[in-house]
Structure 1
């Protein structure tokens, strides 16, 4: 077995880490857990670096990330911890904090979905994968991706936290 190319991996790591972290955050909904998932993903990617096709290194790492999240989710009941809900402020003027609140609200709404629904929505709409790519990524049939995504979107459409964000956006657009 040949040793990994450290320079190539370092370049990959610096380029892919922010994207992997964002995906991990959307899947886990917790910054500390996202950092841990990203770090474990990079460690596993490094150990397999000699076997990875350089053109698909990000896809390989992303698959590791999704699998690590699934493993974590299965063991979650052993170490579940409560978190405080993020307040939903309503403002009449455009405030940069509104964008932060909107992103947090979306992340919070994603946590209301099942693990499979959340993974399907993140793959389809955040990573902009096709239905077939999402099915391959999650290791399920394309029909499962379609039904899971539809079910998740129905839940997100009625989520009150997302309606509050939409109301803030509507209120601030009228005030500008």
Structure 2
């Protein structure tokens, strides 16, 4: 046997395996393979944007039956380490945030903001009280520039509405003209020509 023949045999021999399981319609026997046992796993890694700098880590453990526990941490743009611990099981995905307090804390109002809010709430209460008794409230009047802007808006709106109506009328006229001059194309699939 030449060396070329042995190479051909080695390359062809894996192709001579049983493929009946791939073509179930040609198979005369049915075999049932039990599922493999659960495969627990565990992984962990660290990474950084440049050598010698770790700015994110991730670790996870799975029992192979669908229950997973893990956590990941990263350094945010404010240079704070943020961590998320999580678990996934038959009841769902459950996460807890660690070192996120500053992201959910409300900012403290400045003195000017505090005074503006108080003024707003007083005015709101006054208007709500008047409305509950049916008393009209003196609403602020439009300035001259606001009045001019409103007039310009209304004129533009009317102009656009008229243009749209003209376009719709033109299209309707074209459709009616087309229908009036077109022959009905009655296609009968059973008719032999």
Shorter chain as denominator, the TM-score bin is under 0.3
- Structure with the larger strand share: 2
Structure with more contact order per residue of length (Cα contacts < 8 Å, sep ≥ 6)? 1
- Choose 1 or 2 for highest CA Rg: 2
Instruction: Give the TM-score normalised by the residue count of structure 1.
Output: 0.18
Instruction: Give the TM-score normalised by the residue count of structure 2.
Output: 0.17
- Structure with the larger helix share: 1
